[in-house]
Amino acid sequence: MSSRGLSRTPVGVALVAWRVWKRLPPPARRRALEAARSHGMRLAVRHGPKLAVYVAQRKRSRGV
């Protein structure tokens, strides 16, 4: 999938995720939802703080 000028902002990431989701066949969508239900909270707790720090550092370095 080409970037087509999308930024790495939350909106840009959401648009790309939506495009990928639309291309998945229904069985793959179902498996993705099951994986998110069973592993999503664990991943968010473990990696969420790291991602928040990373985003804050990038924002600070850009002067935004």
Instruction: Transcribe 1-64 into DSSP letters.
Output: ---TT--SSHHHHHHHHHHHHHHS-HHHHHHHHHHHHHHHHHHHHHHHHHHHHHHHHHHHHHT-
Q: Produce one character per residue of 1-15: b if its CB has 16 or more CB atoms within 10 Å, e if not.
A: eeeeeeeeeeeeeee
pLDDT of the chain, 64 residues: tens digit per residue: 555 656 778 888 889 989 999 999 999 999 999 999 999 888 888 888 888 888 788 888 877 6
pLDDT of residue 58: 83
